[in-house]
Amino acid sequence: MKPKYSPMMMQYLSIKEENQDSIVMFRLGDFYEMFFDDAILVSKELEIALTGKNAGAVERVPMCGVPFHSASGYIQKLVDNGHRVAIVEQLSEPGKKGIVERGVVQIITPGTIFDESLTNNKNNYIAALEEFDFNYTLAFCDISTGEFCVTNIDKNEKLLLNQLQMMAVKEVVCLSKHIFKFDDILSSPFDNDKYNDKYAKIFSNINDLKQIKTASLLLNYLLDTQKRELEHLQIIEEINNDDYLTMDLYTKKALELTTNTKNNEKYGSLYWLLDQTKTAMGSRLLKQWIERPLINQAQIEDRLDIVEIFTNYFIQRESVKEILKDIYDLERLSSRIAFGNINARDLKWISSSLKVLPELKAQLISLDEPLINELANKLVDLSHITELIDQAIVDNPPLTVKEGGIIKDSFNEELDELRYIRNHGKQWLAKFEQKERDKTGIKGLKVGYNRVFGYYIEITKANLSLVKDEFNYTRKQSLSNAERFVTPELKEMESKLLSAQDKMVKLEYVLFTQIRDYIKKDVHTLQDVAKVIARIDVYQSLAMISSENSYVRPVFNQSKTFNVVDGRHGVIEQVMAQGSYVSNDVMIDNNYPVLLITGPNMGGKSTYMRQIALIALMGQIGCFVPCSEANIPIFDQIFTRIGASDDLISGQSTFMVEMLEANNALRYATENSLIIFDEIGRGTATFDGMAIAQAMIEYIATSIKCITLFSTHYHELTFLEEKDLGIKNVHASASIENDDLVFLYRIKSGRSNKSYGVNVAKLAKLPDAVLNRANVLLEALEENNIEHHLSNDTLKQAPATSMSVVEKYLDNIDPMALSPIDALSTLIELKKLNESR
């Protein structure tokens, strides 16, 4: 027989039935409570006490709870762990007859959580995905800023995943007939992709029916989960990937564009280097620019023009920077207004941010530059908002909006009257007490207050005979030594005093919502202003880093020439001690677009290659570049294969990962792309790796013909320069001084004479016995030389010309010093040398 639960628990179970995929946070007074399996799960994940509740059942119901005023941190943790959370609030006032009405007011998911701190400079995107015959269509939205965009992607799952990972999507909404599964991304089924006429304005920029359907799916899901109108959503922007330089996720990681490879933190990345922004909006926009560099030269030049203006006008730039420091995250604040979760302190931040806009506009116009004037004129007058906020909101308002203390005196007459009653209540009571003493002649008469009985007049029993009927005293409570009375006048004042505070709080909240609704009409104007501020902030940031580090404006060419004088790796230069970075020239022309780079490990080959890629990227972002001169092409794509890390989770070896990433470049690169390959082939046997490396270089040089940087330890491949394929040898130089290896960090023309591997091993302080033996083996192998015995089709090892290798090996062996295992190892080596004859 089904146990009978209390009415409240039946209400909970009814709501839970409709939200089985969510943890239900059920508001009871000052707590959000969870019951049954939700309580067991949450108590473990949040590490809070699991208790029980008598709810009419035979056994106690499992229960746990969190205070409602500090619930956001708990909700954030649950959402971070991949859960959906349904927030159930009390919809009717407690104390009335019957059970309090309750309902779901919001479903919080990984893609829809609001960051409460306003210090997070990252976007939080939720995506919707639909699959069509020839492409995927994605819609993205950050409800904390109102940004909304759509894009079409070729039907390639790798490209799809790359787009989702690039935008750090935490949740993907899919039609239930086609659920996509992604690691670390929540898939949410939802089946309403019907166009919503009420939101026609945000669709005004897109005409593609696939994009409209996918954006509608996302919009309807957001409306369904947020349980409110989303008036702050911005007009949907189409992202056309053909307008931007293409990079896959591996390339972005290898080049450390937004995070470093060591611990995925911002420090040490290009984003870290360039981010001198002073606003959250500017920081987010800069990150977007870094992830999507331009390929249209006119657009790039426009950005560079503005950066150059800010670079030249140091004083005005410094003034702009100082003004920007006073501007809060207007994009997120304006979204909070429309979303209905803004507080009075947020309004003060909006006011203080808008107050500095006239000064910002004046500084920009003082530059008297058309491109800057265009930006300045978009900073429209919003003084009516600041005036209202300053008139209405106290200087240091509380965070809560339903407990009063947020509206200034003299803003509302009714509120002033209620405050007068509250503030003068004690004074009135003191006068009333003295008046009653004079009237009765009872000097010990007291006026007091009790939470149960309210205000009263207390008279000791010794003085009761002095109470007369004409005093109109009504007995209220009897004590052992006194009686308490009330009069009509005291009762009336009691009603005013007790209701004044409650009325004040309610009236302040009404006034606050009226102010919020007034500002809400200008939400989209605020968002537009925020976007302009973000752009100004990015421009001054790029100008500041360019000016402080002596970067130069790049010149672009159509001749596939990459010429840089005194080129530097901007990030490493900043991390290293001042003045210690060694700059390098780069000279790549259309006749020799492939550089084959040799030289020792740690000699600077990888830095040199990354430096070239970052100079190209910085230029296409619209930033000056770290060098003395730069004449460079505009790349359409950048491909890299740098580093060797096994993908053990999916069972892929270093070599397999290497081949997959290299394949991506070989298949999709055009003559306007940039390819960076570091040590291709080292993940397999020497001759296999050498053969694959040679085949790749030849294919790139003859079929793709794009600018390529190919570093290798296969010195044998340097003969390819002689084959007139457009391949040029360069090397990272080093020298031996007093038997020690010295890195020069200079990239010079020609091939490296040796790889200095044993010398690097010496730097690593390997045991002398190991180093000595390595030197012996190296000499033996060098005498049994395979260099320059490479043909187009085969790689053959040259035969030894004599027994000198084996003899030399034997001369260096002390049989009495060998352990049994060393003797066996030596015998194996001798056999190999003999077989190679």
Answer yes or no: are the C-beta atoms of 505 and 403 closer than 8 Å: yes
**Binding site feature residues for ATP:** 599-606
In a domain, 254, yes or no: no
In a domain, 397, yes or no: no
For the chain, percent of residues with pLDDT exceeding 90: 64
Answer yes or no: are the C-beta atoms of 99 and 7 closer than 8 Å: yes
Q: What is the mean pLDDT of residues 441-462?
A: 92
pLDDT tier at 195, thresholds 50, 70, 90: very high
Tens of pLDDT, residue by residue over 615-633, are 999 999 999 999 999 999 9
Shared-domain flag, residues 561 and 446: no
pLDDT at site 645? 45
Answer yes or no: are the C-beta atoms of 24 and 16 closer than 8 Å: yes
pLDDT tier at 327, thresholds 50, 70, 90: very high
Averaged pLDDT score across all residues of the chain: 88
pLDDT at site 653? 62
Shared-domain flag, residues 465 and 492: yes
Q: Judge whether residue 1 has pLDDT over 50.
A: no
pLDDT at site 788? 38
Secondary structure element (H or E) that encloses residue 428, with its range: helix 413-440
Answer yes or no: are the C-beta atoms of 642 and 608 closer than 8 Å: no
Tens of pLDDT, residue by residue over 551-610, are 999 999 999 999 999 999 999 999 886 667 889 999 999 999 999 999 877 778 889 999
In a domain, 773, yes or no: yes
Residue of 399, 489, 304 lying closest to 69 (CA atoms): 399
In a domain, 314, yes or no: yes
Residue of 409, 384, 402, 403 lying closest to 340 (CA atoms): 402
Tens of pLDDT, residue by residue over 738-782, are 666 666 678 888 887 666 666 666 667 778 777 677 677 666 666
Q: Measured between alpha carbons, how far is 94 from 99 in angstroms, rounded to an integer?
A: 8
Q: Judge whether residue 70 has pLDDT over 90.
A: no
pLDDT at site 793? 41
Shared-domain flag, residues 544 and 453: no
Backbone φ and ψ for 104, nearest 5 degrees, come out as -75, 125
CATH of the domain at 479: 1.10.1420.10
Which residue type sits at 239? I
Shared-domain flag, residues 564 and 694: yes
Residue of 523, 400, 514 lying closest to 145 (CA atoms): 523
The domain boundary residue, chosen from 466, 498, 515: 515
According to DSSP, residue 581 is labeled P
Shared-domain flag, residues 598 and 674: yes
CATH of the domain at 52: 3.40.1170.10
pLDDT at site 800? 39
Shared-domain flag, residues 155 and 220: yes
In a domain, 409, yes or no: no
Shared-domain flag, residues 486 and 567: no
Tens of pLDDT, residue by residue over 813-826, are 666 665 665 666 66
Which of 70-84, 208-222, 390-404, 681-695 is predicted least confidently? 681-695
pLDDT at site 369? 95
pLDDT tier at 791, thresholds 50, 70, 90: very low
Shared-domain flag, residues 801 and 830: yes
Shared-domain flag, residues 534 and 585: no
In a domain, 758, yes or no: yes
Tens of pLDDT, residue by residue over 500-524, are 888 999 999 999 999 999 999 999 9
Q: What is the mean pLDDT of residues 201-226?
A: 96
In a domain, 651, yes or no: yes
Shared-domain flag, residues 530 and 653: no
**Binding site feature residues:** 599-606
Shared-domain flag, residues 817 and 737: no
User: How many domains would you assign to the chain?
Assistant: 6
Name the token pair of 199: 């939101």
Which of 51-55, 320-324, 525-529, 767-771 is predicted least confidently? 767-771
Domain housing 41: 7-108
Shared-domain flag, residues 726 and 782: no
Q: Judge whether residue 787 has pLDDT over 50.
A: no
pTM of the model: 0.83
Which of 380-389, 469-478, 638-647 is predicted least confidently? 638-647
